Amino acid sequence: MRWQFFHYNGLLVDLNCGWYCLKAALGIKHAIAGTPQPHVPHPGLGHIAYDPSNSPLVTTVATPVSTAAWVAMLTNHGPVIASGKLGGADWGKIGGHRLGVGHFILINGADTALDVADGGRLYYLDPLQGRFQRHDTFNHLDQRMNATVDYVT
């Protein structure tokens, strides 16, 4: 996954994390299938908050309700784009108020045997955090995720 931080024309970050997740999901899915990856033009630096659910290349479904459901979805559909106060845009909680901003990450793995007390473990790529595989517990991410997710069709 490409990192969305750069220095271009005085800007420090490209605020189109959804586009980075869509590009990475397409790359993974088409590399596995051995098919050419379709071109998805960059929305431009003047655009912010590219939403992959508006793309004809994805299907939007309800967010899985357990790590086992995540395993099934990832097995059947490949990497999944999720949004919410996630990854590098999750700034914690003060009192009852959750801090952070809306952000997209690409969930690419799930394990029901790890972090069992917290519902299992999800693995993801985050354009705010570079090319490194990240992970967190299902319970942590599930509380912060929006009601729907997208996968490449």
Q: What is the pLDDT of residues 28-37, one digit of tens each?
A: 999 999 999 9
Count of CA atoms in the C-beta half-sphere (13 A) of 109: 11
For residue 78, pLDDT beyond 90: yes
Measuring CA to CA, how many Å separate 109 from each of 94, 95, 138?
A: 29, 31, 11
Confidence (pLDDT) at 7: 47
CB 122 within 8 A of CB 139: no
Domain that holds residue 86: 5-152
Cα 66 to chain center, whole Å? 17
What CATH code is carried by the domain that includes residue 63? 3.90.70
pTM comes to 0.88
Q: Which of 131, 146, 139, 135 is nearest to 24 (CA)?
A: 131
Q: For 7-27, how does the pLDDT look when each residue is reduced to its tens digit (9 = 90+)? A: 455 555 667 889 999 999 999
Assigned token pair, 62: 């309800």
Across the strands, what pairs with 135?
123
Q: Look at the chain and report how many structural domains it folds into.
A: 1
pLDDT above 90 coverage of the chain, percent: 67
